[in-house]
Structure 1
Amino acid sequence: MDDVANDSGHRLGTRDGGDDDDDDAEEDGARLTSEPSTSGASLRYATARDVPFRKLCGAFEALQNERGRSKATSARRYRVLDTLHDRCLVSARDGTRVDAFDAYRLILPALDKERGAYFLKHDALAKVVVSAFDMSRASEDAKKLEDWKRKGGGNFPQVVRDVLAGGHLADREKDEDARTLTIGDVNEALDALAACDNKDQRASTLRALFSKMDATQVKWTCAIILKETKISMGEKAILRHYHSEANDLWDWTSDLRRVCEDLPRRDFRMKREDIDVGVGLINPQMARRQNSIDAVYRALKGTQFVIETKFDGERIQIHKDGDIINYWTRNMNDFGPRGYDVMNALFRHLPKRCILDGELMVWNKLRDQSYPFGALKNLIKAANMRKAKDELFPLKAHLENRDGGDSDGEEDLMSSKYAWYAENVKKLTYGDLELVYVPFDILYAVDRSVKTHKLRERHELLKEHVREVSVMCGNIRARILLATPDCAFSRVGSTKEDIERALLEAMDNGEEGLVIKDLDGPWIPGDRSNNWMKIKPDYLSSEDLDVVLIGGYYGAGELRGGKISQFLCGIVEATNDPISTASDGVKIMSFCKVGTGISAMQLDDLRSRLGDFMHREKPQDMNYNVTDAYNEKPDVWIWPPQRSLVVTVKGDIRAIRTTTFATGYSLRFPRVTGIRYDKKWSDILTLCDLLKTIEEEVPTLKVNIDDTRGGTNARKRSRTTGPATLLPAHLMPVDVSGVVQESEIFKNMQVHIANCESREQKQELFKAVIARSGTTSELWHKHVTHSVALNRDGSKFRTASREGDVYTIAWLQECIHEGRVVPPKPRHRLHLSATTWYGTDAMDRYGDDHFSDCNLADVHALVHQVGDQTKRWKTAEVPALVELDREYPSVCADVKLLTFRGCVFEIDDSLGKDARVDEQSSMFPSVLAGERRNVEQILRIYGGKLAPEGRMGTHIVRMYDDSVVFEDMDDGRKQVSLSWVKRCIDRSTTADVV
C-alpha cells in the first residue's frame, strides 16, 4: 500500500503488492465518505471490512521489513500502524472505528477464537497450494513448496510468495480482482474454509480465493491460516497501539471482538471492571523461566515461597456459573461442548459462581504417576463412549497426526516419556487410567473476585471451597486432587536448599520440573514475572560429556526395584591419547553417578548387554581409579571397560569439588541424554579435557580449581572460598570410609534407614552396621533385609512398608548395644506386614507374640498398633484372598467370598419412610449402629470395600429403603438395597442382578 509504505519511509513496488497510481483506481470499489478524518488524514472507507486486502498486506510487508530493536525502528513500525489505522479504520464523523474486528482478526489471527480450525498445517497447506495452482507434483515449484523447510529457509509463507511471483502470479499485481478484494471478502472465504469437511473442499475454497489475489496476498493469507503473521511486533504491542486499555480488557475476557467493540475510539475510557465468571478465559498467569536455582532464589528476595510440581497435563480454567460449566484452555477454547462436560459431576459441589485455575491430566494407577499428556483427549473420548474398563487402551491413538501436521508419532513413541507404555501397552486398560484435575489457584469464589488476594490466602479459599472428590465419568474414574502446600504436589520453602532438594526429587521421579511461587503475590492476568517462576533440569547451564559405565546400583520402587537402575560413570585418567586396553596403564577414574534420563527400554537394553560383565565382587585385576567411599561403591562392578558402553551425560558444568569420586570434581544434576553404541570407551572425556573445561568456566563461576598452589594469594583464597557441595549437608551421602570391622553380628544383613533424627545419627548408624559386617542402602530394593525408621513419615517409609516390616531406630540401636540381633518386640515395630503374622498362631495382626513376655513399653505400643491396624484393616479384604485373587484371578472368578470384588460401598443408614422402629427408645441409636456394623462386615467378607469418609464409591447401599432395588445414578454410582445385596450373595455374582 503506497500511502502506508511511503509514510513509514518505505517504497513498496509492484512486486510487494503496491502500485504507483496512488489510490484513484480504488474509489470505484470502495464506499467513501466526504468528511475529513479527525486525525487529519484523508478519509477513505466507511468500515474496516471495505478496506482492500492489499492495504493490509502492504502494511504487513512494511512491518516485516523493519527489523531491529532501536527506537527509530520502533517509531517507524508505529507510523505504519498509525497510517493503516487513520486512513482505513477510522470513521469520518467522530473517529469511531467501525467493524474493526474484521481487520484485527486478520492482523492477530492467533487471538481470534470465533472462527473454527482450518485443519491445515504447513505440509497440508503446501499440497493445497500445489493443487490450487494446478502444479505438477513432479515440478520444481511443487517440490520447493513441499520441501519448504530445506529449500526455503523454514519460512513457508515467503516460499509460497517466491514460487508464485516467479511465474504463476507474476503479472497479477495490476489485476482488478487483486486490487478490489476486500478484508470482508477474505474473512468470508476464511469462514468458508473453516467450514470445509475434507481436503478437496479446502482446495476448492482456496483455489477460488487465490484466483483473486497476487503473490503477496497469497503469502499473507497463508500466514493468517497458519496463524504466523510474523511482523516484528508482538500481540501486546499491537493491542496497546489499538487502545491503551486493550490489553487489560483482553486479560479479563480473552475476547478480541469485545476488545474491538468495547473500545470504539482511542479517547474512550473504559469503566474499570474486574474478572467475571463465564465471559471467557481470564488470561492465565504464566511462570517466568529461570536457568539456575541461584537465579530463582535471588528473584524471591528472601520471601517465603511455595514449590509446586510442574505437571504434564493441560492447563484448564474451570468457570462455574450456576449449572453451566466452562472448560477454558490456554488457547481460549471452551472444551465443554467438545466432550469435557462429561466431567461436570466432578465440579457440582463448587460454589454457585467460581473460577478455578489448574491442570487436567491422565493418571496411571499402575505406576501411581501421571501418564503422558497426549492421551488426555483419547481418555475424554472414552469416557463419553463409556468404554469398558477392561478394554485395552490404544497407546498410538493420541500420537496420530489428525490435523495434517508434520509430527512423527513413532519418534514420540520411542522417547523416554513413552517407552514404558510401549513396553506395557498390553497390560494397560481404560480401567488403569483416571482423569485427575489438580486446581492450584482460585480466582473467583461465590460472589467476588479474589485474584488480588495473596497466594497463601487463595490457598485457604481453595481448601475451603473445593473438595477432593471422586466420580465416575462413564466408565472412567475422575477425581480432584488439590495442589496446596499440605499435599504431595506442593510444599512451602524458604531457602535455596529447599529448591535444590525439590528439583533433585523431581528428577528422580521423572517429572518435568518445578514451579516456584511467591506466597505473598497476587494473581496477575497475562503476567510472566518473578511472581511465578519455573525451572527444569534442561534449563540449567550444562554441557554434554561422554563417559563410560563402570558400576551399577540397584533401584527402588515398582518399576526399578531390584534392578540395576543407576550407574557409576568414569572418565579416562590419562592426559595423552589412551590405547585400547586398560592393562597397559590407562586408568578409568570415577566421575559421577547418574540414573535419570534413561527410559525403561534403554535400561533393559543396558542390563541385557552388560549383564555378563557385572560382578558383585570387585575384580582383582580391575584397573579403575576409585576412592572406595561409601556413596561411590556400586552394587556391581562393570568390567572390563572394553565390554562396557559409553553414554552422553548432560550436567551443570559448574563442577563441584568432591571427595567421593576420584576425579575430585563431579556434576550437579547429571542426566543421560543418549547411549553411544558407536563410540569406543577409549574415546571418552579425559581428565585433561575436564580440567580445561572447568578452567574456562572459572572467570564466571569464581571457583578456585587450584587449591594446591603456593603463595599468599592462594592461601587467602583457600581460606575464603569453601568447597562447593553437590547437595545440602543433610542430603549428602554418608561417608563411611575408614570404618574398622568389630564383629559379624549383621553378616548377611542389609539395612535401609527410611528416616531418622538427623544426618549425623544416620551416619553413625551406617558406620556401626558396616563395622559389624552388615551392608547399608540409602534406598529400598529387593536385597534389603531390614528396614528401620524413626516414624511413619515420608515416601521412603511408605515404600519400605509396602514391601515388609519396618522396625524402629531403637531396635537397631539395641542390637548394636547388646552385640546381637535382638528378636523384635511390639515396641520395636512401626509397621507389621500381613505376611509376618498371617499363617501362624504365635502372633496376632497387631504384633503381639503370644509366647513372649511384654514390658510396659510393649503394651503401649500394642495399644497404638491396635488403633493403627484397626483403621488399616477396616476397609481391607482378607489377606489370603487378596493374594490369591492377585496371583490367580481365573481361579477366583467364581469364589463366593469374592462376590463384591471391585465394588466400593457407601452406607446410607437414614430411615426410609416405611421403616417401623421405635425412635423414642434409648436403645435405638445402638441398634442402628449395630445393624450398620453387621452390613459392613458382610460386605467385606464377600470381597467388597468401604469408601473412606468423604470419598465416593461405586454403590450406595440404602439400608432401610427397599423402594429402589437397583438404580443407576447420573454420576455413575448405583443405588442398591439390602435385598439386592442378599440376592448377589445367593447367586455369587453381581452380574445381571437388578
Structure 2
Amino acid sequence: MSEHEEDDIEMRDDDAVNEERMMYGHGTLTEQELDEKYPNRPHNHSKTIPFHELYLTLFNPLNDNKKRPSGPVTARKKQGPHGPRTSPNDIRKGIIERFISRWRKEVGDDIYPALRLIVPEKDRDRAMYGLKEMTLGKILVRVMKIDKNSDDGYNLLHWKLPGVKSSSAMAGDFAGRCFEVISKRPMRTSPGSMTVGEVNELLDRLSVAQKEENQQPIIEEFYKRMNAEELKWLIRMILRQLKVGATEKTIFEIWHPDAENLFNISSSLRRVCWELYNTDVRLEGDDKGIALMQCFQPQLAAFQMRSMEIMVAQMNPTEDDPEFWIEEKLDGERMQLHMIEDETMPGGKRFNFWSRKAKDYTYLYGSGFEDDNAALTRHIKAGFNDGVRNIVLDGEMITWDPTQDAIVGFGTLKTAALSEQKNPFAGGNRPLFRVFDCLLLNDVVLTHYTLRKRREALVASINNVHRRLEIHEFTKASSAAEIEPLLRKVVAESSEGLVLKSPRSQYSLNERNNSWVKVKPEYMTEFGEALDCIVVGGYYGSGKRGGRLSSFMCGLRLDEELFPQNTNPQKTWSFFKVGGGFSAADYAELRHRTEGKWLDWDSKNPPKDWIELGGGWERQYEKPDVWIKPEDSVVIAVKAASAGTTEQFKCGVTLRFPRFKKLRLDKDWKSALSWGEFCAVKERAEEEKKEKQFKIDDERKKRTSTKRKRTVVIQGQEDDVHAPYAGPATKVFEGLSFCVLTECLKPKKSKADLEQLIKANGGNVVASDKDPRTIIIADRKLVKVASVVKRDEKNVIRPCWLFDCILQSEIDVGRPGLLLPLEPQHLFYTITAEDGKYDEHVDEFGDSYARDVTAEELLALFGKMPAIVEDGFDGPQLLEQLNEHGHEFNAMPGWMFQGLAMYCEDVSAEVKRFLRFAGGRLVHSLEDDQLTHVVVLAGNLRVREIRKQLASRRRQPRIVTDAWVNDSWVEKTLLDEERYAPV
C-alpha cells in the first residue's frame, strides 16, 4: 500500500462528511452540539451503503431463515448428510454479524443510520410520522394518480379485505398490498440509488411535516427513486412494523455485549451506537444503572399462567415469608417521573416525564412547580418530603373524574391533561399519577433492592396529594384463594384486573418475569357456563390472520313480546365483539358453515332491518367489515367476566372480557340468546354475586403453616451439607454456599450470571473456598481453578449441574429441595479419593438415574446402546412394570393414552398409530368390558346407533371425533373430550 493510500484511510471521505451533515442536520441538535454532547462519537470514513442492501443482505436472508424449522436441535438434526448442520439461531447471528462487519469495513463505526432503519420502533430520536395505513393508502393513491374506486385503489384503501383481483396472501399486510399495487406501475424496476443516509434525511423531513399535504411530496420523492420492493420495506419502517425474524435484543448482543443494558437504562439507540462502537470499551459501575433525567425501559408484568396457584408458587414464597402483594391493574399510561434540584427553576425543582415507549411528556405534565402550562406538577408541590433532593418514580398516569370520584378510561388521558393545562381549576377530568415504585432516591439507585425496601423508600419520600399524586395501594396475601375475591371486586368497579408482585423481588429493566404477574378475569364465569349468542358481523384481521375474518360481532335477537313493533324476527342489536379463544380448527369450521353467505357492509346503505349498531346510523360504532343474516349464521358459546354499560353497542350493555368457548352446532338463531333472556341472566348473576361470600382456603393455609421441614442432601463433598427446605422447588440451593471461579462455556453464561442464578434459587455466593462445605463451580482451568485442583481436597463442579438441579426441581415439584446427585459429566475435577465414586449415579451408557434427560442427550445415549436385544429380555413384563407406575409417566406425550381402551370406526391409520404409540389399547368390539372411548370420524352417520348400543352399560364410554386424538397429540396432553363430542 502506498503512502498516499494510507493517508486516504486516515482521512474521511468528503461525501461521508456531507452525508453526515445532511442526516443530522434536521434534528434538535446541530452537528457541533452533537460533538459536544458525544465527544467520542464515531465518524464514518465513507458514505452509507445503498438502501436496497438492507433487504438484500439482511432482511430477506433473515426472513428466509424464519421459515426454517425451529425448536431444540437434536443430535440427529445437528448432523446432516454432509457434516454438522447449523441451527436457525446460529444462521441468524451469522447474517447479522456479516452485515455489521461489512458496515464497519465499507462505511465506518457509526452504525446509527442503519440501526434507525433496522429497528425503527426503538428509535426515540425521530418523532412519530402521524401516518397510519389508511392515510398512507390515500397518499399513495394520489401519488400514483389512480382512481380510489378502481380495483387497485379499493385494495389499497381496504387493505384488510381479501381485495378485488388481488392475492389473498397480501390481505391484512398493508406493505404487501402496496407492493402488489406498485409493482403494476413502477417508476423503477431495478433498485434505486438512495443510500441509507439519504433515506434517513427524508424520513426526518417526513416526521417533521406531519400534515398530509406536506408529507405527500416526500412520499412522492421516495416513489420516484425506489422500486416496489424498496418501497415495501420503507413502508414497514414508517409503520414501525418491520418484523424480520431478529429482535433488537439479538442485534444489540452482536453489536456490543453491553448494548442491551445501555438501551434499557437510557432508551437511546443513538447512545448505544455512539458510546459502544468499540467492543473493548465496557460499561462499569454507575454507567450500568439508571440515572436521573435519563429515560429507562421499565419492568413489565408477565402474562398470567395456567392457575393462580402456579402464579403464587413462582413468586418464591418461603415458610417464613409467604407474602405476595396484590395491586389493582390501572387503565392508564405507564409513566416515569424524574425530579432533581435546579436553582434556575422557580420552586427549585425540575421534572421530566417519559412514557413506556420513551415519549417525552414533560411538555404536558410540567417541568416545575411553577410551570403555568403544567397539567400536574404545579398541583403537587406538597407531594415530596423536604429531604428529597432527587427521585425517580415509576407509576401509571390515569384520568380522574372529580365529579364521579372515579377513574375514566385510558382514551381520555391526553384530552384531560390538555384541558387541565388551559383551565386548571375548572373541575373537569384531570390527570392523576399513581406511583407504585421508587427506583432512585437522593442519588442512590434502588433497583437492586427488594420491592419491600423500595416501598419503604417510596412511603418515606412521597405524600399523597388528593387525586393528583398518590401512592398506589396494595393488599398483602399469602394464598391463591385470596386473589379471586379482589379480582371480582375490581371487575365490578370496571377495572382491568390485578397485578401480583413478590415483595422479595428486585427491579428488572425491560423484562417480564414471574415476580410481577398480571391477572385478568379469564378465570371468572360470572354468567355461569356460557352465553349462546348469534354471530351477525365479521372483521378482517391483519398479520397472520390477514385476509380472513379474525373477530366477530354477536347480537341479541329481539323478543317478540318486548318489541311488538319489530317486523323482522331475525333482527338483532349489536352486543359485543369477540376475537379471543378461537383455534385454527374453530376458524375453519366457522368459515365452512358460513362460506358464501357474508355480505359487505355498506355504510351509506346499512342493513337497518337486520342489525342496529351503537351510535345510531349516523355514527355506526363498531361497524363490521361484513355482516350475515341470522338464518345463515352460527351460534357460539362465549364466557365473560361481567357486563358493563357502553355506547359502542346498541344493547347499551356489553360483555367485558368475552372469550370464545365453542361452536353450538346444536342451536340455530331461534334458540340463541335474546335481549329479554340476557336481562334475566344478568339480574340473576348480580343477585348470586351479592349472596356469594368468599373465604380463604383454611385447609390450604393450614397445610402451608404445618409443612414439614425437609432436608437437602448433596453428594460429592467430604461431609453432607444439610439445610432446611423452606419453600417451593425454586429454593433448591437454600442453605448452600458456592464459590464461582469461572464463567460457563455452554450455554454461554458469565460468572455474574451464574452468581445471580444461584442467589435467585436460594443459594449463597462467597468469594473464598476456605470453608470445607463451600461448593466450587468452574468450567475452565484458570489459575484459581488450577490451585484448587493442585490441592486435591475438593471436587470442582461444572455449572451444568446448577442448570440440571434447577430444571429438575421445576419438573419434579412433588419432591422439593432434593438436589441431584453428581454424575461424571457434572465434574470438572474429581479428587483422587473419590475417583469413580459417581459412576454409580448413571447406567452403563451414561443415562442418569435421578434426572430427566433432554431429547439431545437421549439420542446420544441411544447411539451408545447395542442394537440387539439381550437374552432374558421380557417385553410384556417391562410394560407391566411401567403400568404399575403409570402415574409417574402420564405427563409424558408418549404415555398420554395409557390405560385407555378405544374402539375406532372409520378413522385413519395415522390416528390409530398415535393411539398405539402413546399407550392406548385398541379393541375390536363395542362389547369389550374395558372400553373407555369410541373414536369416530367427524360426520359419522352411525353415532346415534353407537350411543344406543352403549346406553345399557353401567359405565358410559366417551364418544369423540378423531380430532380429539390429533389435537391431543399436537398439544402433548389429553384434551377435554366434551368439546370433541360428535354431532
Q: TM-score range by the shorter chain?
A: 0.3 to 0.5
| TM-score using structure 2 length | 0.46
The higher radius of gyration belongs to 1
| TM-score using structure 1 length | 0.46
